[in-house]
Amino acid sequence: MLPNSLHVRSAALGANGIADGAKPGAVIIDMSSIDPVESKKISEDLAAKGIELMDAPVSGGEPKAIDGTLSVMVGGNKATFDKYYDFFMVMAGSVVYVGEIGSGNIAKLANRMIVAVNIAAVSEALTFAKKAGTSPELVYQAIRGGLAGSTVMDAKAPMMLSRNFKPGFRIELHIKDLTNALNAAHSINAYAPLTARLMEIMQTLKADGYEKEDHSSIAKFYEKLSKVTIEG
């Protein structure tokens, strides 16, 4: 489970990498969140050496990792997935086979796109409430049980309200994932305007020195423009 595509390629195929010592028939399970296009290329290069690759990124952040209930999304050979399903479940609450190699990372990037836009929507709504003179805390409590409610809202709104931006998932890592998402989208001519907008918001936060904070710091972008603070 490594930071990005180049690290995975180096670990798998670089000097003294896994392929140097692995025997034909070996299986590498890559649980990194990387560019799915690169996952396919690494898989092809490993296959030439008789080594199989599965991409199996995870979702759930630090809390789910600690309690062993991560969500794992897997791409690769279905028979290999079935063989290692119990292995995945040691660390997971949900393990889903998504399709051929690269599909796991497609699912992970889709997840990151949705989470980013969801956090921004929560930030925008709570900033709107504060600017209007209504308690953001009470607005959150009023709407969380309705259609607008979500796991993201329940995880991130309390952090915004309490000014707790200790990272569970850092802005800089979300930037990495959105970079991969946009690269993949551009390669297949998929339209991703909301993802592109969130990338620019996160780049602004990075420029303001918040890249090490939790991605709930997206709220600070709205607060800065609106000249209010969601807290209180």
CB atoms within 10 A of CB 84: 16
Active-site residue, selected from the candidate residues 64, 108, 156, 220: 108
Reduce the DSSP state of residue 28 to 3 states and report it. Answer: strand
Active site residue 156: no
**Is the distance from CB of 61 to CB of 168 less than 8 angstroms?**
yes
Q: How far is the C-alpha of 54 from the C-alpha of 43, rounded, in Å?
A: 8
Q: Single out the residue of 174, 183, 130 nearest to residue 152, CA to CA.
A: 174
How many helices (DSSP H) and strands (DSSP E) are in the chain? 11, 5
Which residues on adjacent β-strands are paired with residue 28? 53
Burial 45-57 (b: 16+ CB within 10 A, else e): ebeeeebbbbbbb
Q: Angle formed by the axes of helices 103-131 and 218-226, to 10°?
A: 30
Contacts with 20 (C-beta within 8 Å, 6 or more apart), sequence order: none
Reduce the DSSP state of residue 94 to 3 states and report it. Answer: strand
Which residues on adjacent β-strands are paired with residue 199? none
- Active-site residue set: 108
